[in-house]
Chains A and B, each alone.
Chain A
């Protein structure tokens, strides 16, 4: 398949599904905000002021919270932390999951049995509940939120990698590489793994949104991020008690930011899958 065909196919998929275009633009925006957040924010995100619980206005686009902090600035600045948690967790589970899945799929036998059994045991827990337990034990910190999120995401990558590798293990090109004198590990890493990368990438983008949701959920119940650090989950938690008295902006803007980010990744994952899944190709 040549580059022109790929480009045409990309354009076709994007044309078929304009939402994917929206998702990719949104993604660019989120990344920009994450990088330049502190410079974009008009106010200091942790500086309190006397103007408390002000509804959205020209001065404070998203209003102010119970300590008089500018919600807009806090939402903007929080982007980096939320993204950082999700990206590191997903990267961690991507790497570890790939390795475990590849080993299980390539060597089979006892390696496979042991790794699969461990993965199944993780999946036997309701995943968010397991994450809560892990954070409780490891201790309440951002770092541990990342580890917990990584552990509960690991099975997805390991399963995809295992399935894809075990299908390709017997393929002609792998045998050829082996006959040419490459070691098992070399065949696996240089010849087989690159072939399953597209599937892994789809899994990655589908998983990203879920990772953000989990991390935010953990901080919503008071784990990980400590106030006054701006983070979407904790901002929603702080604003929760004001919703019954009608101060909706405390919850709405960080919640909407969270939702947009997750929606963006989910849509991108869908789009990417359409792009890569050969069954939808004509």
Chain B
């Protein structure tokens, strides 16, 4: 089998707060191949973004990586020097964020912000950078890119800002794109346009995409594989079709029941009982146990790990009583 582009192994991340240590990520594993789209799904606070920030190396200073490794194309990101990381970030792997309006520098022309990245990652003349910045704006289907080059973020709509973000992320042709809730806060038609743009550009360049979202329907539409996270743990990971035909984890099943689709009526929608457990202090092996209807005494036994569902090695679940 081909070497994956991105491998995360046993990644454990803690936050040090005044109230104590919070375990945000618990032994996360994931792989991502060239050209593949992986969706990371979970409610807010499940650790999706922290995972992405760890990969990009932009964690909050209060965060501490306890164990694990992150390898990108043979390079160990956690042990690399800050300088080496900085040459990879933005050129080889890039990220787009939620709330595009605040994720862009408010007092710098959007064109210049693209140029900053271009000039950082390659010897280009001022003229060349300028040309490529306009080109990048055109590529993300912004009308009248010459004029929009001079626009400030506050002069653009949320959708246009997100397109600018995508232009910044993709201007150096990265091989990995992490999209962190890229459509949050945009209206529905814009959402679809942005997602289509991300998918099309990803396919064009055979780029690996990690799509972080709380929206299972969105994940189903755009991802090849889906990884479900809950309270800092990966609870299930499977190819999209397999997940929808045969969800094995009670939490995944719950998420699906809570997601409205065209077929479902409001009566069928079901909220998942309880909320995310408090991640401070010691936690049970299965962090969903407290909210789970299928809980048994053996659920509290230590040593819970992802295991294959049936014969499909790609479909794995971390549950002692899978569905």
Q: Do A and B come from one complex?
A: yes
**Across the two chains, which residue of chain B brings its CB closest to A16?**
B18
A57 at the interface (CB under 8 A from B): no
Q: Which of B7-35 contact A (CB under 8 A)?
A: 17-19
CB distance from B306 to the nearest CB of A (A): 35
Q: How many Å lie between the Cα of A199 and that of B19 in the bound state?
A: 26
Q: Is A282 on the interface with B (CB-CB < 8 A)? A: yes
Q: Which residues A140-192 have CB closer than 8 A to chain B?
A: none
Contacts of A282 in B (CB 8 A): 17-19
Q: Give bound CA distance, A282 to B19, whole Å.
A: 8
Shortest CB-to-CB span from B178 to chain A, Å, is 30
Which residues does chain A contribute within 8 Å of B18, judged by CB atoms? 282
The chain A residue with its CB closest to the CB of B18 is: A282
Closest approach, in angstroms, between the C-beta of B15 and any C-beta of chain A? 13
Give Cα distance in the complex from A178 to B83, angstroms: 63
Distance between A275 CB and nearest chain B CB, rounded to angstroms: 15
Shortest Cβ distance from residue A17 to the other chain B in the assembled complex, whole angstroms? 14
B279 CB to nearest chain A CB (Å): 16
As a 0/1 sequence over residues 247 to 282 of chain A, the CB contacts with chain B under 8 angstroms (1 = contact) are 000000000000000000000000000000000001
Q: Nearest residue in B to A12 (C-beta to C-beta)?
A: B18
Within 8 A of A (CB), among B286-305: none
- How far does the alpha carbon of A282 sit from the alpha carbon of B18 in the complex, in Å? 7
Q: Which residue of B lies closest to A281 (CB)?
A: B18
Query: Which residues of A have CB within 8 Å of B19?
Result: 282
Cβ distance B22 to chain A, nearest Cβ, rounded Å: 13
Q: How far is the CA of A51 from the CA of B41 in the complex (A)?
A: 86
What residue in chain A is nearest B19 (Cβ atoms)? A282
Cα separation A264 to B19 with both chains bound (whole Å): 31
A230 CB, min distance to chain B CBs, angstroms: 48
| Cα–Cα distance between A36 and B17 once the two chains are bound (Å) | 47
B17 / chain A contacts, CB cutoff of 8 Å: 282
Interface, chain A (partner B; CB < 8 A): 282
- Going nearest first, the 3 A-B pairs with the smallest beta carbon separation are A282-B18, A282-B19, A282-B17
- Measured CB to CB, the residues of B under 8 A from A are 17-19
3 inter-chain pairs at a CB distance below 8 angstroms, sorted by A residue, are A282-B17, A282-B18, A282-B19
